[in-house]
Amino acid sequence: MGTFSFKLPDLGEGIVESEISKWHVAVGDTVREDQPVADVMTDKAVVEVTAPVDGVVTALACAAGEVLPVGRELIRFEVEGKGNAPAGQPAAEPAPASPPASAETAAPDRGDERGGRDQHVAETETGTDTDTDTDDNVASAQPASGPPRMDTMTPALPHRTVLTSPSVRQRAREQGIDLSLVPGSGREGRIDNRDLEAFLEAMGRLTATDQRHPRSGSRETPITGLRRIIARKMAAAKRTIPHYSYIEEIDLTQLEELRSQLNNSRTGEQPKLTLLPLIMLALARVLPDFPQCNAQFNSETEVLTEHEAIHMGIATMTKNGLLVPVVRHVEALDLWQAAGELARQTAAAREQRSAAADLQGSTITITSLGAIGGIATTPVINAPETTILGINKLQQRPMVRQGNIEVRSMMNLSASFDHRVVDGYDGAQLIQALKQLLEQPAAIFVPSFPRPGQT
C-alpha cells in the first residue's frame, strides 16, 4: 500500500487560491477515480474537483469554508502500489471537527434573541393623591408576570406629579401605563377616567398588547463562499477605481408602446420581451463611438484594452448572492436572439447551472433591481471593466412637453465610470446618445440610420 497526495489544482484565469466550499467525502471513505471529492469556489464559479486515483481517504486539508492556495495539498489517499508521497512525509492535518459549544461560547437561545422573555424590569411610578388611600401614593413595583410597562419602552422623561384617583391609578397599573405620560384635562392636570380612556384609544392599548421587549442577542456569521468573493471584489473595486456616476431621466413612452406591440405579435417560439433586451441593443449600437466604455483596464500594467466585441454582463441576484452571467456578441444579435440568450443565461445563474466560462469575459455590465427599481442608484463597477449601467424604476410621471403637462413613462438610467480612463464628458455623451436611441426606438433597428452625434 502507498500514499497519494493530491494538491489543489490550478483552475485557470490566474487564480492563486480557492475556497473549499463543500466536501463530498470524509476520512475513511473509499473513492473511485473521477468521483467528486470537493466543490471549490473561485472568483468565477464553483468547480467540482474529482479524485485522480482509486483509494481510501486518509486526510483532508481543511474544513469546508476555508481557503487554500493553489498547489497546497488538498486530500490524501491510501492507494494500491507505491503512491506519490515521499516516505516519512507527514500526512495533511485532518479537517477539525466542530468543538462542542461551551457555556462561554454557546450562541444565545431563541428566547434571548427575542429579548429575554424571562427577564422582567421592576418599575415604579411616583405621584401624590389628594383623595384617599395613602397606599396608592407610595411607589409600587410592576408585577413580574404582568405586561411590560410603557415607560420601559420610551425614552426617559422627567416624571411629573400625577394627580388622579385610586381607581384610575389601579386601572393604569393593570394596563401597564405610566400615568406621567397621560395628559390630564382636570385642574392642575388631574387625570380622570376619560383622559385615561382617550390615551388608551390613541396608543396605550396598542402598546400594552404589543408585548415588545428589549433585545440583547447577537449572532456571528462567517462570510464564506460566494458572499466572501462578492465582498472582496466590491471592496477592491471601490478601493482601486475612482468612480463617478451620471444619472439621466429617459422618456420610454414610445419604447414601451413598441415593446407592447412586439409582445402582442410574437410567435410561440419567441420569448416575452422585457425592457432589458431593447436597452442592450441600443447600448450595443452606441458603444462603438465610446470604445473606452467597452473596455477593461489593468491597474497593475496600466493598459486599457478596448474591445470590438460587446460581451454584456448581466448582474443577476441568486439565492446565494450576486452573479454576472455574460451575453456574448450582443452586437451580432437581433432582438429576439438577445432576449432568448438573456433569459437562458440568467436562468442558469439563478439555478446554479452556469459554467465557469459563462461568468467571465464581460466587457461592460448592466445591473437592474427590476420592480424594486428606485429613483437612482450608484452602481459599483465590475472590475476590470470601465463602465456599468444601472436601470431604475419605470413609472408614469407628469412631464412638461411643448408647454403642456402630459403623463409619460419615465425611467432614470444610472451609469458609473472609471474616471482614470473615462472622462466625465465622454460618460455623459454616452448616456445622452443612449437616451436619444431609447426615446426614438425605431432608430435601434435601422442599420443605415446615423447614430446620435454622427452626421
CATH number of 296's domain: 3.30.559.10
* Catalytic residue (choose from 120, 159, 243, 419): 419
In a domain, 113, yes or no: no
Here the cell at position 114 is 427575542
> Are residues 155 and 72 part of one domain?
no
Q: In sequence order, what E strands does 152-298 have?
A: 243-251, 295-298
> Are residues 287 and 197 part of one domain?
no
Q: Which of 210, 233, 268 is the last residue of a domain?
A: 210
56, β-bridge pairs: 30, 78
Residue type, 293: C
* Rounded distance between C-alpha atoms, residue 65 and residue 73, angstroms: 16
The parts of the chain modelled with pLDDT lower than 70 are 12-14, 43-44, 86-161, 203-212, 448-455
CA torsion sign for 80, 83, 86, 92 is negative
Q: Containing domain of residue 157, as a range?
A: 134-210
> Are residues 339 and 426 part of one domain?
yes
Q: pLDDT digits over 150-160, tens only?
A: 444 434 444 45
Decide if 423 is catalytic: yes
* Catalytic residue (choose from 10, 34, 334, 423): 423
Per-residue pLDDT at 275? 94
> Are residues 149 and 54 part of one domain?
no
Residue type, 284: A
Per-residue pLDDT at 454? 54
In a domain, 452, yes or no: no
Here the cell at position 183 is 395628559
Q: Which of 164, 186, 210 is the last residue of a domain?
A: 210
> Are residues 178 and 263 part of one domain?
no
Closest by Cα among 188, 195, 187 to 167: 195
> Are residues 348 and 276 part of one domain?
yes
CA 134 to chain centre: 60
Here the cell at position 88 is 516519512
> Are residues 166 and 289 part of one domain?
no
CATH number of 29's domain: 2.40.50.100
* Rounded distance between C-alpha atoms, residue 331 and residue 134, angstroms: 88
Per-residue pLDDT at 210? 55
* Rounded distance between C-alpha atoms, residue 421 and residue 434, angstroms: 20
> Are residues 206 and 165 part of one domain?
yes
Residue 316 vs residues 283, 326, 421: alpha-carbon distances, Å: 19, 10, 26
> Are residues 427 and 297 part of one domain?
yes
Per-residue pLDDT at 258? 95
Query: Phi/psi class of residue 428: alpha, beta or left (left: φ > 0; alpha: ψ in -120 to 50)?
Result: alpha
Per-residue pLDDT at 99? 41
Which SS3 state, helix, strand or coil, does residue 293 take?
helix
CA torsion sign for 161, 167, 170, 176 is negative
In a domain, 335, yes or no: yes
Q: Specify the number of domains making up the chain.
A: 3
Which SS3 state, helix, strand or coil, does residue 317 take?
strand
> Are residues 60 and 159 part of one domain?
no
Decide if 334 is catalytic: no
Closest by Cα among 204, 167, 155, 166 to 183: 204
